[in-house]
Homo-oligomer: A and B are copies of this chain.
Amino acid sequence: MSNKVKIAIDAMSGDNSPRKIIDGIDISLKSNTNNFFYLYGQREILEQHILKKTSLNNHYEIIDTKDVIQDDESPLTATKKGKDSSMWKAIESLKEKKSDISLSAGNTGALLIMSRLLLNTIDGISKPALAALWPNSKDMSIVLDLGANIECNEKNLTDFASMGSALYKSLFNIDVPKIALLNIGSEEHKGNDILKKTFSILKEKNQKNYNFGGYIEPNHIMDGNVDVIITDGFTGNIALKTAEGTANFILKNLRKSLNKFSILTSYMSLKKFKEKLDPRKYNGAIFLGLESPVVKSHGSTDAVGFANSIDVCSKIVNGNLINKIKSNLINVD
């Protein structure tokens, strides 16, 4: 087991958990048996769900926990009274070096606060950030911060560049990712003071670790010409939610417009279209900058989406993310 990736799973949080968690692990074990799962949750319930999943044999250990953090709980209250929750205990196992990475489909706010309380920040990193995969015309890129830090200075944004490019390298095995700063114009003089300062730091300290492509406007995120897109958590969250709302609006209108006949005749085409845009493929936001990475699966995803998050966890650990972040660090005076 020593070479296996040890994943601490909050098995109780998210819609339809723990069923989708156990099913997701089952799916992931079909293509990768090199993970070991510490399952945090109520032992009896978990054992019932695992009963028929023989594929899990020898790949898991249950750690009995009492509480479950609810999605609608205030993150602060949840943290205060959640010290015996599956979420807390799973993150705590990182502190104790029992596991390499932690994965939860629960309350994002509570997960961020618990992670910050339990884990140290990597030396030299000012603020951890939330990163996610974003689909594009070629494959996918990484965008961060998506909401962990509402206000960011040039040091924070520069750190996001170091962390984002380290993550991209770990996940996609590429040596020098292309990074860009999200802005409302592409000319060097555009944007606020913090963006301009970050621009000159990234331009001057343009290291061997990434290729700085200047500013990128949000209408070009999905062109696929940039691997890592850097922004503050307010702007990143605005972009993420705008994209989500727009996609939902268009797909809803498409469904409304199609009659039964056209759905039948276009079945294969529409299936291909839906697969390309399947949000389960991009499932998993990564909380970066702490001594160990914490991964957040979407609460409403299913077993396939959860299996994709497990795959992300496995790649992050095998890709030596934390070491890559450390060697990527940029010194901002």
Contacts and interface: CB of A to CB of B under 8 A. Distances in A.
Contacts of A217: 241
A302 to B, nearest CB: 20
A49 interface: no
A276 B248 contact: no
A243 interface: yes
A272 interface: yes
Interface in A80-102: none
A205 interface: no
Given A265-B265, A269-B258, A222 B249 contact: yes
B252 A250 contact: no
A254 interface: yes
B246 A150 contact: no
A147 to B, nearest CB: 6
Given A238-B235, A242-B219, A261 B250 contact: no
A257 B245 contact: no
Interface in A263-294: 265-266, 268-270, 272-273, 276-277
A319 interface: no
B245 A247 contact: no
Given A219-B245, A246-B247, A257-B269, 9 more contacts: A219-B241, A239-B239, A239-B242, A250-B277, A257-B272, A262-B265, A262-B268, A262-B270, A265-B266
